[in-house]
Homo-oligomer: A and B are copies of this chain.
């Protein structure tokens, strides 16, 4: 692929879909990326950009001039144009908007007016609307007049002459109904419109729960604004899931797998720096007990066990609660139950592993005091760890801090500090 034969590669690229080309570019290191990009036909560039992750897209957008950008936006869906425009500097956005015809420009500006992470930012404005007083036959004739219909078409949206949303008629009902049936009689009242300000993660939960393919979007006074389709919702679900996974390691969900060395180093350094503070706090705690360690060096050998078991137990609870919160399972009525459950689980596991670890310590060092100290501190640290793991996400959420990002760092600080403090503290108490 990399050397020679551009003609051959060009042919191969022509046989791939835009999504496949985007995937190929995302899976290539920077140099190959630029080579491949030049081989893509100009008219396909827009489609390929649409299918890409934000960071990789930025890489290509940065290399384009205004004229190239403008040509890319031709023939794109309104919501996709809005998506890309949000990545551009303000000034360039204005120049691109200026280049569009009036109708398109208005549509794009409408979508841009809503925050990216709401129903408004997800919606598309190309809908097929009908009046409720027409028959199935008329509706079918009306549809036939279109050259193409927006995809996927699973329902016709019924509005009045003020564009007020009246209901939706599933296409499958339209196809099985008698031609003389009025659309008013086919409206499926289970189909509820989505308010334009609904958060995108809530939209995703709604689609998942109700198995939707598309959903109408309305403003506060129930005017139809557009519709959301399941393909965009799938992206929201994927992004949300990646956000949880990536931010636990201090990474961004749009992170380019093949980002160059220096950019990667700089980004990771930030996270390492934050964690270094945690590590120094833990060291500070150990530093308080230097004299005790000097007396009983076995303490230094065993102390990481207490801290690390606390970290593991806490992160299990943290993960479970973050997921439950994402699924909307946590409310006032069940937090007490959950905290009690976690506390008991921590206590039982603390007692069990305290016995195991104490026995091992007894065999290893043949010292009753150290056996007692490590057992006690295991129980303390495991209980504190699971309770912190359960409460941290709730506290962080109420402070509007992302628990997936900050949770594990704060939790590790707590489990390290409590682990070293209880172990070395108890040891100091018992040995002196």
Hey, which bits of chain A sit against chain B, CB under 8 A? 1, 17, 19-20, 23, 26-29, 51, 140, 143-144, 146-154, 170-172, 175-179, 190, 207-211, 213, 230-231, 233-235, 237-238, 240-242, 244-246, 248-251, 255, 257-258, 260-262, 264-265, 268-269, 271-273, 275-276, 278-280, 282-283, 286-287, 290, 293-294, 297-298, 300-305, 307-309, 312-313, 315-316, 318-320, 322-324, 327-331, 333-334, 337-338, 341, 344-345, 348-349, 352-353, 356-357, 360, 364, 412, 416
**Shortest Cβ gap from A87 to chain B (Å):** 20
**Shortest Cβ gap from A422 to chain B (Å):** 15
Copies of this chain in the oligomer: 2
B residues less than 8 Å from A154 (CB atoms): 152-154, 213
A241 contacts B251, C-beta separation under 8 Å: no
B328 contacts A23, C-beta separation under 8 Å: yes
Given A251-B319, A269-B352, 13 further pairs, Cβ under 8 A: A19-B209, A19-B210, A27-B328, A27-B330, A28-B334, A140-B140, A140-B175, A153-B171, A241-B241, A241-B245, A251-B320, A283-B302, A287-B364
B residues less than 8 Å from A349 (CB atoms): 265, 268-269, 272
Evaluate whether A357 and B148 lie within 8 angstroms (CB atoms) in the complex, with A230-B213, A249-B319 already known.
no
B residues less than 8 Å from A248 (CB atoms): 245, 248, 319
State in angstroms the CA–CA spacing of A349 and B338 once bound together.
40
**Shortest Cβ gap from A297 to chain B (Å):** 5
B265 contacts A348, C-beta separation under 8 Å: yes
State in angstroms the CA–CA spacing of A246 and B315 once bound together.
10
State in angstroms the CA–CA spacing of A207 and B320 once bound together.
28
A312 contacts B275, C-beta separation under 8 Å: yes
B residues less than 8 Å from A147 (CB atoms): 176
A293 contacts B297, C-beta separation under 8 Å: yes
B residues less than 8 Å from A258 (CB atoms): 334, 337-338, 341
State in angstroms the CA–CA spacing of A237 and B230 once bound together.
13
B242 contacts A176, C-beta separation under 8 Å: no
B residues less than 8 Å from A278 (CB atoms): 308
State in angstroms the CA–CA spacing of A143 and B257 once bound together.
48
**Shortest Cβ gap from A229 to chain B (Å):** 8
A211 contacts B231, C-beta separation under 8 Å: yes
**Shortest Cβ gap from A366 to chain B (Å):** 14
| Interface-central residue, A179, A240, A301, by most chain B CB under 10 Å | A301
Evaluate whether A334 and B208 lie within 8 angstroms (CB atoms) in the complex, with A272-B309, A345-B268 already known.
no
B residues less than 8 Å from A260 (CB atoms): 341
B residues less than 8 Å from A275 (CB atoms): 308-309, 312
B301 contacts A283, C-beta separation under 8 Å: yes
Closest residue on chain B to residue A298 by CB atoms: B290
B237 contacts A323, C-beta separation under 8 Å: no
- 26 sampled A-B residue pairs with Cβ under 8 A: A17-B209, A51-B209, A143-B176, A147-B176, A150-B172, A151-B211, A152-B172, A152-B213, A171-B175, A234-B234, A241-B241, A241-B244, A246-B320, A248-B248, A260-B341, A276-B305, A276-B309, A276-B353, A278-B308, A279-B304, A282-B304, A283-B301, A286-B300, A290-B301, A300-B300, A304-B307
State in angstroms the CA–CA spacing of A358 and B161 once bound together.
73
**Shortest Cβ gap from A25 to chain B (Å):** 10
**Shortest Cβ gap from A323 to chain B (Å):** 6
Q: Please tell me which one of the listed residues B238, B257, B337 contacts residue A29 in the complex, with CB atoms under 8 A apart.
A: B337
**Shortest Cβ gap from A367 to chain B (Å):** 13
B residues less than 8 Å from A322 (CB atoms): 245
B293 contacts A144, C-beta separation under 8 Å: no
B352 contacts A276, C-beta separation under 8 Å: no
